[in-house]
Amino acid sequence: MSETWTVKKILDWTHLYFKDKNVSEPRLGAELMLAEVLNCKRIELYVQFERILTADERSTYREMVKRRSTHEPVQYILGETEFMGLPFRVDKSVLIPRPETELLVDCVIEHNKDKRLSAPAILDIGTGSGCIAVSLAHMLTEASVTALDKSSDAIQTARKNAEANVVTVDFVHADAFHWAAKSQQQFDIIVSNPPYVAEREWDDVMPDVRQFEPKEALLAGQDGLDFYRAFAPLAGKLLKQQGAVFLETGYDQAAGVADMMTNAGFRTSIRQDLNGIDRVVIATRGYAVKEQLEPVLEMIVEKPIDLDLLENEQEIANETDENRE
């Protein structure tokens, strides 16, 4: 007679098995996979602990457990995940959307609200699964969203996610920097969650990521900053005069990335994620007039000119000229 496996029994066994295999979040993974097998919500497992699994259910679940025991991410096993409250299909051609990237989307939405942009043109560089582009198109219904990726497989996945969430996004299969150098388009908002893992840190990356997620979407040179170095000089070409750039960064990279954008002529600020880590660099187009002129004027006169006074005098002169006319 075969052994009887209830929901509670199989969850408890899987939890211990995953712990022995050093699988991250062992209980959560077990519950998510079993809920998929039983076609129910995860929370519903707790009200049917005594339910007995059928042979087919055990067989399907067993195959999932085998895959997870090799550290394959649960999201790839299930074939989908959630981001900004929306469902997204994921496979090994795209990175799994992370909770911290939701901050990037939130920052864009806040900016759009503050600036009262009615129909912003948005560019998402390195769209992957399309989670950023699709979420923005869903929340900013008047926006025109363009999304780039050099992976044709990623573009296919992103297109399916746009269709599933009933939004319109212009997906472009291209290398971002080659495309940017030739493009005449300009955008109100540029957003990117680019590769930012340093090659020197690759061996320390958790196996779930290192062994399964696309390496080209993760690595960015010895220090992880290659994308930002290439992007900073091109940003001004792609951005409208009052536009803004939003960049996700690694845990110790925000200050360095902000410096790159400052040197490229942008004013910058940094937002922290829920863990207190500097996570998003926001860059707005151009310096103020005073900031541009004051260093130059200090070099050619002994005493710095008060630019506020200079601007007031210019306004008076303009008014006088108008009165004469």
User: What does the alpha-carbon distance between residue 113 and residue 251 come to, in Å, rounded to a whole number?
Assistant: 27
Distances (CA, A) of 72 to 52, 77, 79: 27, 7, 12
Phi, psi of 83, rounded to the nearest 5 degrees: -145, 130
The string of pLDDT tens digits covering residues 90-137 is 999 999 999 999 999 999 999 999 999 989 999 999 999 999 999 999
> Which strand ranges, in their side-by-side order, compose the sheet holding 170-173?
170-173, 144-149, 121-125, 187-192, 239-248, 278-285, 266-272
Model confidence at 273, pLDDT cuts 50, 70, 90, reads very high
Distances (CA, A) of 49 to 9, 33, 117: 8, 15, 51
The string of pLDDT tens digits covering residues 25-76 is 999 999 999 999 999 999 999 999 999 999 999 999 999 999 999 999 999 9
Phi, psi of 269, rounded to the nearest 5 degrees: -145, 165
Q: Is 100 helix (H, G, I), strand (E, B) or coil?
A: coil
pTM of the shown model: 0.84
Contacting residues for 211 by C-beta, under 8 A, at least 6 apart: 70, 71, 72
